[in-house]
Amino acid sequence: MRRLLPVLLLAACAPLTAATLDVAWLRDGKFASTQLHQGGTAMSMVDADTEVPLGSLWKLFVYLYAVDTGLPMPDYHCTGRLPDESYCCEAGGSVDRNAALAQSCGLFFAPDRLMLSRAPWQRYWTGRLRAALAGEFAWMADPAQLSPGRIVRLGSLLRVLDAVSPASRAEAEAALLRVVLDGRGADTVRWFGSRLRVKTFSWHQPARPKERLGGAAGWLADGTPIWFAGSDTSSGIFQRWAPHLAAALPPVGDAADSGCVVVDFFTRYPVRGVRGPNGPAAPGPLNGRYVVEFENGKRLAFRSTGEMTLAVDSGGRPRVQGRFGVNEYVGRVLDREGNAAQPEAAKALAVAARTYLQQNARLAASCQQINDSSATQRVSPNPASAGALSIARWTDRLVIEGTPVTYHRDSPAPGRLAWTQAVEEARAGRWFDAILAQAYPNGVLGTSAVGGQRCQRLHDNEEWLSRMLPRWERVLGTQPGYERPAQLPLVCALAAGAPYSEQSRNRIFMRPLATREDRITLAHEYVHIGLRRHPRGHDEAYVEQLARRLADLNLERL
């Protein structure tokens, strides 16, 4: 809930501790920097030779190495005995690699725990940097020597960030998107969108040990390495500087898309034929301008540069299909269902459209597949406009979590965004996250890339759970610590491995119901969610016993 609630202007309520913020980045191999001011005396601007403490950034380099080399990173289980576990999880809980990175859990990335060896580490980073781990890169020579107080040259730090593999960087970026949602930069997503993918750090000023130095480093959405810091903690830096920093970021270029979507066009309107400039179009990729003719006599013109294809089904009927990146798809939906004239309303609709896709698409050859239909989402057959595509990229991977998402042009309802109302709210000065908070009060703003698999919903499982839950409640209501979730959990298809529940996201991953054991599994994972705040929720024997009792109740009813 907190992530979608309206937020007061953070810069107005943060403590007045920082007068300047240094920002540096590396683009096309060239170092660049700027300094932001909020009163006070200007200081000398950082350059490539400026020495800065590494802070918590050492965890990011361990993460990148482990992901790229396939080093096992088992979840860290909290015992409650170590003070630093406050950055990781509650006693009895655990944290995975992505959450550990976003939350800055140092215990997870400890070189001894992950059994990092110096020789493989050196071979890997020497290969990535194409340079010996000496001189400006000497600080990277030994994982055991990476520490928050390690002093490094800023230009060297950015060069290492620039040298990481695209695959490991994509994994890290996916985890770090949460920083502006619910991490050290909580509730600053309204200024940054998904442009900023950074690991936060807080340490001491090198020349003034009693003063804090806070900031973050990582990448912009297009892969540009970036670093920023000032006199405060990392959370304080975000609270005070977010709007100014967002305005000062270098322009973000086109970024790699996070997935693909296959769209079956015109599914509710039988197609008679597709014509190009030279007559009927031949089956295959479509390049140029075309007109689709419907059986009802209507026509629709569209353009394609090979992303649209024409096929003929077994009955001889023409079928038009498109294959796009997710952001191109969201941009086309925005053009069809709204427009980009009011940016905050457009951002809200883009997030809603991406969420609807995630919740309702089916998987097809590693892509999400969905119909172009007024019963699902209407998708423009023409390329997304520049304005709509810009909005889609600004909100890349942002979705609503925890509640089913629908929207309508002009009919608001609980759990449904109305486009006309969103436009009115944007004109009144409301931010996109506040618009979403009003439309989806039971949801939170999150990311499709972190915290588990994409949810391919098992509607039969959800329906069965909904039918049986009133009977279960008679037993569960007597269990200490039981709390019914505000919304029925989403039940998602499990691709591989053992069933599990994502308690923080109110989701259960399992296989379709086929046997009594499947029903016990669903009851088991639901009990974990219902007892998520009670110690017994971590007692597998107790949870299994209770789940079997619930399954027996259902057998009696059946």
2: Cβ contacts below 8 Å, ≥ 6 apart: 182, 186, 187, 444
Q: Is 105 helix (H, G, I), strand (E, B) or coil?
A: coil
> pLDDT above 90 covers what percent of the chain?
63
Mean pLDDT of 459-465: 92
Least confident of 3-17, 244-258, 264-278: 3-17
The pLDDT assigned to 454 comes to 58
Cβ contact 456:493 at 8 Å:
yes
Predicted confidence band of residue 115 (pLDDT cuts 50, 70, 90): very high
The pLDDT assigned to 362 comes to 81
The pLDDT assigned to 34 comes to 95
The pLDDT assigned to 361 comes to 85
429, amino acid identity: G
Q: Which residues pair with 191 in a beta bridge?
A: none
Predicted confidence band of residue 524 (pLDDT cuts 50, 70, 90): very high
What are the DSSP calls for 204-220, one per residue?
E-SS-TTSEEEEEEEEE
Average pLDDT, the chain: 88
Mean pLDDT of 118-139: 96
Mean pLDDT of 397-420: 90
What are the DSSP calls for 27-44, one per residue?
ETTEEEEEEEESSS---P
Question: Cα angle at 370 between 274 and 193, to 5 degrees?
Answer: 115
The pLDDT assigned to 257 comes to 78
Predicted confidence band of residue 255 (pLDDT cuts 50, 70, 90): confident
Q: What topology is assigned to 2-71+116-248 in CATH?
A: Beta-lactamase (3.40.710)
d(CA 69, CA 47): 32
What are the DSSP calls for 378-442, one per residue?
---SSPPPHHHHHHHHHTTTEEEESS--EEESS--BTTEEEHHHHHHHHHTT--HHHHHHHH-TT
149: Cβ contacts below 8 Å, ≥ 6 apart: 53, 54, 203, 204
Predicted confidence band of residue 2 (pLDDT cuts 50, 70, 90): very low
Between residues 301 and 205, which one has the greater pLDDT?
A: 301
d(CA 324, CA 158): 33
Whose structure tokens read 């997304």? 384
Q: How far is CA 493 from the centre of its chain?
A: 19
> Strand ranges (DSSP E) for 73-162?
76-77, 94-95, 151-153
Does residue 450 carry a pLDDT above 50? no
Cβ contact 61:201 at 8 Å:
no
In this predicted model, what pLDDT tens digit does every residue of 268-298 receive, in sequence order?
A: 888 999 999 999 999 999 999 999 999 999 9
Mean pLDDT of 148-154: 95
Between residues 422 and 358, which one has the greater pLDDT?
A: 422
Does residue 6 carry a pLDDT above 60? no
Closest CA to 105 of 93, 115, 116: 93
> Domain segments of the chain: what residues?
2-71+116-248, 260-447, 459-557
Highest mean pLDDT (candidates 165-179, 527-541, 542-556):
165-179
Whose structure tokens read 């037993």? 475
Does residue 542 carry a pLDDT above 70? yes
In this predicted model, what pLDDT tens digit does every residue of 33-60 receive, in sequence order?
A: 999 998 655 567 899 999 999 999 999 9
d(CA 150, CA 137): 12
Does residue 9 carry a pLDDT above 60? no
Does residue 118 carry a pLDDT above 50? yes
d(CA 178, CA 189): 9
Mean pLDDT of 224-243: 95
Predicted confidence band of residue 162 (pLDDT cuts 50, 70, 90): very high
Question: Cα angle at 332 between 330 and 336, to 5 degrees?
Answer: 115
In this predicted model, what pLDDT tens digit does every residue of 181-227 receive, in sequence order?
A: 988 999 899 999 999 999 999 998 877 878 889 999 999 999 999 99
The pLDDT assigned to 41 comes to 53
Does residue 558 carry a pLDDT above 60? no
Mean pLDDT of 170-175: 90
Cβ contact 331:384 at 8 Å:
yes
**Burial class for 328, CB neighbours closer than 10 Å (0-12, 13-18, 19+):** buried
| Second-level CATH architecture of 459-557 | 2-Layer Sandwich (3.30)
The pLDDT assigned to 157 comes to 98
Predicted confidence band of residue 557 (pLDDT cuts 50, 70, 90): very low
Does residue 144 carry a pLDDT above 70? yes
